[in-house]
A and B are shown apart, each in its own frame.
Chain A
């Protein structure tokens, strides 16, 4: 099991563009969470998907949207990119019905907005 995988590894966009990041959860996991980690900061929760629906959302604008597919993989979409969206985007997966469910993180996608 490769664990949580994310693609692409790096991405460079310009202001105003749109971007899609992808995540495949750890085998057996059904819940995917996305986090934004700005330089020098801890990860900040964006949203969480379970059963193809957004279940929780952090303090992020509607420009940030997502999707979960039947195979539990997920996408994060960001529209109208701003310079401040430059960050490492982390995906984490977990199992909804596990006790004390641990989140497993992917390696991240580094997004640079110019």
Chain B
């Protein structure tokens, strides 16, 4: 079964502390993994995708196919990072096509001053 699991509903850290939001997935094909973020009163938006190997707003995520994980990390959390974070996957479609997203339940990150 295709599934994305985010084991933590809430992650609470202090400003400047490292952050790791966990994501594990189950998928039989070749997946493309994403992290989406939703800040307060804003719409869901893409934070980063594994294929691009970028660092966005200081966040990185490495796809570990052996452990089927795609954890989101940031070395020093900022208060503005407080938001809802969703891990998602889709079938890797390198030339376009239908791409339904399968989301995890989300983790709320709260960064305290």
On A, residues with C-beta under 8 Å from B are: 3-4, 31, 33, 35, 40-45, 48, 50, 55-56, 58, 90, 92, 94-108
B94 touches A105 (CB 8 A): no
Main secondary structure of the interface of A (DSSP, over half): loop
A90 touches B95 (CB 8 A): no
Is residue B62 within 8 Å, beta carbon to beta carbon, of the partner chain? no
25 A-B pairs with CB atoms under 8 Å apart are: A3-B43, A33-B100, A35-B101, A40-B9, A41-B105, A41-B106, A42-B86, A42-B105, A43-B44, A43-B86, A43-B103, A45-B102, A56-B98, A92-B101, A96-B97, A97-B95, A99-B95, A101-B93, A101-B99, A102-B49, A103-B46, A104-B45, A105-B43, A105-B44, A106-B43
Summed over the interface, the residue pairs from A and B with CB atoms below 8 Å come to a total of: 69
A58 touches B95 (CB 8 A): no
A55 touches B96 (CB 8 A): no
Docked CA distance A84–B74 (Å):
37
Contacting residues of chain B (73-113) with chain A, CB-CB under 8 angstroms: 86, 88, 93-106
Q: Give the residues in chain B near A40, CB-CB below 8 Å.
A: 9, 105
